[in-house]
Structure 1
Amino acid sequence: MPGAGKLDRKITIRRFTSVPNEFNEPVETWSDFLPNIWARREDVSDGEKFAAGQVGSSLRSRFVIRSSTASRTVTPVDRLVHEGSTYNIHGVKETKEGRRRFIEITAVKDND
């Protein structure tokens, strides 16, 4: 798995938040939770789907990041942004490198 030199990409983890506006009404938005963190990316699979007469394609990737107190709170409710593309997180787990060294995030982006 990765050593420090193999983390050669920058990603941002975004989290859905709700903040009040000037009328104290909740405004829901995606905000940067972990901005510009180093990661390693490995594309796992790509695919096409045909539904209701439409064609779509997607790319499944694995991103490995350093484990930290904040990165251990990442869940599939969050989103990942890499090179201008937004990925939906499908899974988060600790790698086999040893306890609390690295986190592996499996994420999918739609190519449509």
Structure 2
Amino acid sequence: MRAGRLKHRITIEKPELIKDEFGQPTKTWVTVCQTRAAIDPISGKEFFAAQQINNAINYKITIRYRPGIKSQFRVKYKDRTFEIHAPLNPREANRELLLMCEEHET
């Protein structure tokens, strides 16, 4: 992996349940790590939901290998949020991690 491709600074977050002031569980996002990444669009699709046009764009986000990244996590880049669908470890070499993600635009 060439380090020059990893030009975007991202934050990987995981969901965590905490109790609010009324004792009700509430989902919040906790930072797992901040790292450098390459963000590459793969495909896009447009669909209608609740009488709104929504755009879903699929991305491949490449980072250096880091154990413990799961499909329940998400990636934040500036004001954008990417849902991780699958973290892939090519050839099980533990050199890089490919995060197959989806970003929704409304």
Using the size of structure 1 for normalisation, the TM-score is: 0.81
**Residues of 1 paired with 2:46 and 2:87: CA distance?**
24
**What secondary structure is seen at the aligned counterpart in 2 of 1:110?**
strand
Structure 1: which amino acid aligns with 2:93? R
What residue number does 2:59 align with?
A: 61
Are the structure 2 counterparts of residues 100 and 52 from structure 1 closer, same or farther at C-alpha, using a change threshold of 3 Å?
Answer: same
Structure 1: which amino acid aligns with 2:70? T
**Residues of 2 paired with 1:23 and 1:107: CA distance?**
34
**Residues of 2 paired with 1:43 and 1:27: CA distance?**
32
**Residues of 1 paired with 2:33 and 2:26: CA distance?**
21
Give the superposed CA RMSD.
2.2
What residue number does 2:13 align with?
A: 14
Unaligned runs of 5+ in 1: none
Measured after TM superposition, the shift of residue 20 of structure 1 is 5.5
Deviation per residue, 1:14-70 (Å, 9 max, x gap):
0112345688775531111112x00111110111012453321111110010013xx
Number of equivalenced pairs: 106
Using the size of structure 2 for normalisation, the TM-score is: 0.85
**What secondary structure is seen at the aligned counterpart in 1 of 2:94?**
coil
What residue number does 2:71 align with?
A: 76
| 1:30-109 equivalence runs, <5 A | 30-35=29-34, 37-68=35-66, 72-96=67-91, 99-109=93-103
Measured after TM superposition, the shift of residue 106 of structure 1 is 0.7
**Percent identity of the aligned residues?**
24
